Amino acid sequence: MEAPAQQPATNPSGQQNANPDATVEGAATAQAGQEGAEPPAEPPKPMSKNQAKKLAKLERLAQKRQEQKAEEKANRQKEKEERQKQLEASLATMTEEERAARKEGHQARLAARRQAMQERDERRAKALAEGNFRIVIDMDFNSVMPDNDQRHLCLSNWQVTQSELGVAEFFAGKIDEVVYLTADSPHTLDVLDPAKAYVIGGLVDHNR
């Protein structure tokens, strides 16, 4: 007699389980994976009211600066067009002699301006060569100043060395040479030290 064929094992739901050992092994692997998994990251902490106010203020300042830049650019373009119209209208009423005299006077003014700029550059070079003190202008607030306020710093009138680094980065390793000048300090500076670098905050604020 032939022995009856064994029926495959079934789970309680009636589904066949072809390999019971595989099920046990899979459950063990899943459990080991859960134990080795990293814990879920903590949700970010909400900003405090003060932080939210500061962020909103910075965003408003940045937006206001962009609007001011666009307005100033439009005003400059409008003024340029108005001057051009006035010049054309003035030239249209001049005789040839008057135009020649105007051109000659314009060229003389340009020559005088170039001479003045050359003399200024020579004075700057001399002062830079003979000077013993280092003056630093901190431009960290440049991003929140309108273009008009930036122009009031008159940096183009000075012989300067520009750097994208902040004060701390620029003087890394020799920060003890830096003296930051501020009206809020209780100390009065009576004597300048040639070994020090004196920092002035480059901030112009006409809205105070």
Mapped onto helix, strand or coil, the DSSP state of residue 60 is: helix
Amino acid at 144: V
Q: How many domains does the chain have?
A: 2
Q: Two tokens at 84?
A: 């051009």
If asked whether residues 150 and 121 sit together in one domain, one would say no
Number of alpha carbons in the 13 Å side-chain half-sphere of residue 74? 6
**pLDDT per position as a tens digit, 24-49:** 455 445 454 555 556 666 677 777 88
- Given a cut of 90, whether residue 55 has pLDDT beyond it is no
Tell me if 104 is assigned to some domain: yes
pLDDT value for 133:
75
Cβ-Cβ contacts under 8 Å for 124 (sequence gap 6 or more): 158, 159
- DSSP type of residue 84: H
Give the DSSP letter string of 156-192.
GGS-----SS-HHHHTTT-GGGEEEE-TT-S----S-
The DSSP bridge pattern shows strands 178-181 and 134-138 to be unpaired
Domain boundary among 109, 129, 149: 129
**pLDDT per position as a tens digit, 129-154:** 776 678 888 887 777 777 777 777 76
Domain boundary among 80, 107, 129: 129
If asked whether residues 57 and 121 sit together in one domain, one would say yes
- Given a cut of 60, whether residue 23 has pLDDT beyond it is no
In which domain, by residue range, is 122 found?
Answer: 50-129
Report residue 45: phi and psi, to 5°.
-75, 135
Domain boundary among 77, 101, 129: 129
pLDDT value for 17:
47
Tell me if 184 is assigned to some domain: yes
